[in-house]
Amino acid sequence: MNNEFENNANDFELENMRQQMTTLRNKLNQQEIINDRLIRHSMKKTAGDINRTYIWLIVIGLLMVPYGYWAFVMLSHFSIAFWIGTSILMLTCVAGTYYNKRKMNDGNLMTNNLVEVRRRMASAKKFDANWLFFGIPASILWLAWFFYEVYKQNHDLLCHPLFWAGCIGVIFGAIFGLSIHFKTQRQYQKIIDQIEDITKDD
């Protein structure tokens, strides 16, 4: 009689423990789902910020073509060749930005396979980083041409207002461009880190 009572008590205790474990497992699974959704939402927001930055850069690059004609040819009396070269540089930057932006265009990007998303983010981050190998030399060549155009108008560069305007523009342009570049790099890395947080236990 006592043995039967003890067996029933043990069975009841085991069943109770199983139910508690099942409840705990369900809670953990639910918490993982919530965390996954929160991280994906954060990744989507960061990707959206990168996408908006690229859109603004594309718009500015395209507007620089007609603006450059007015500012350099009509206003500053630079050569048509300089404006054409500037336009080619701007359109090349637009094309490069658009190429990288395409990796962010998928509306279901953050609900896709995270391994694929990480691959695309790493590829976009690398392209953005490597762009400096083109952007910096191209900017230096453009600046040298700019100063040559100023020199043709006045051999005493230091007395020409455009020389100082160019120097100020270069400083502010470098600060603005590099700040956007490093911010975008941090945003790409943030997405990659968040994906690794989700997949590290898989």
36-61 pLDDT, tens digit per residue, is 677 777 778 888 899 999 999 999 99
What band does 70 get if pLDDT is binned at 50, 70 and 90?
A: very high
- What residues does each domain of the chain span? 48-199
Residue 170 · residue 36 · CB < 8 Å = no
The average pLDDT across 104-111 equals 66
- DSSP assignments along 141-156, one per residue: HHHHHHHHHHHHH-S-
Residue 87 · residue 65 · CB < 8 Å = yes
pLDDT at 133: 93
Q: With b meaning 16 or more CB within 10 Å and e meaning fewer, what string describes 119-143?
A: ebbeebbeebeeeeeebeeebeebe
pLDDT at 94: 95
Measured CA distances, 31 to 24, 37, 129, 189 (Å): 10, 10, 36, 25
Which range is least confidently modeled, 65-74, 112-121, 183-192?
112-121
Closest by CA to 86, choosing from 144, 158, 152, is 144
pLDDT digits (tens, 9 = 90+) for 130-165: 999 999 999 999 999 998 988 888 777 666 787 788
More confident residue, 171 or 197: 171
Give the mean pLDDT of the chain.
Answer: 81
Residue 194: which H helix or E strand, with range? helix 161-199
pTM listed for this prediction: 0.76
Measured CA distances, 185 to 122, 129, 180 (Å): 10, 7, 9
pLDDT at residue 19 tops 60: yes
Q: What percent of the chain has pLDDT over 70?
A: 75
What band does 110 get if pLDDT is binned at 50, 70 and 90?
A: low
From the number of C-beta atoms within 10 Å of its C-beta (0-12, 13-18, 19+), residue 193 rates as exposed
